Structure 1
């Protein structure tokens, strides 16, 4: 699993920063999937598990994002399963 996530052409990272502020993102390159609160972690997990969202990334990138979300979930004592 690589930690690198490529810059997406369909997204402007400034939009994520503008909307969420200076927070931790599961995809910090594109400023997608904030994981700075319990609510954001739950939302990030839900969104990355939607096929239309996951399809915008390579399989390795999805695994990297999911790994970051899972680590954040542990921090907030959120139980999530791999099968969503």
Structure 2
């Protein structure tokens, strides 16, 4: 759940005008990420990595590949989260 909230928070961060202009000119974007949770002292408490896809107008794919295997897909008005290690689909 913590990862889902972080993903939603990252999507809500304000983007610079340059990044927005680049995105508007494209149909979508893809990339890889590494997410780190740090203590107040700066020590790494948890880390995950994976890839994402954002396609216009209504598609978002967030795949965590390490340390576990989870997928979150938002398409149109639905959100699906799959955790293969826990064998859960929400």
Q: TM-score range with shorter-chain normalisation? A: under 0.3
Whose helix fraction is larger, Structure 1's or Structure 2's?
Answer: 1
Instruction: Report the TM-score, using the length of structure 2 for normalisation.
Output: 0.25
Query: Greater RCO between the two (CA within 8 Å, min separation 6)?
Result: 1
Instruction: Report the TM-score, using the length of structure 1 for normalisation.
Output: 0.26
Whose strand fraction is larger, Structure 1's or Structure 2's?
Answer: 2
Larger radius of gyration: 2
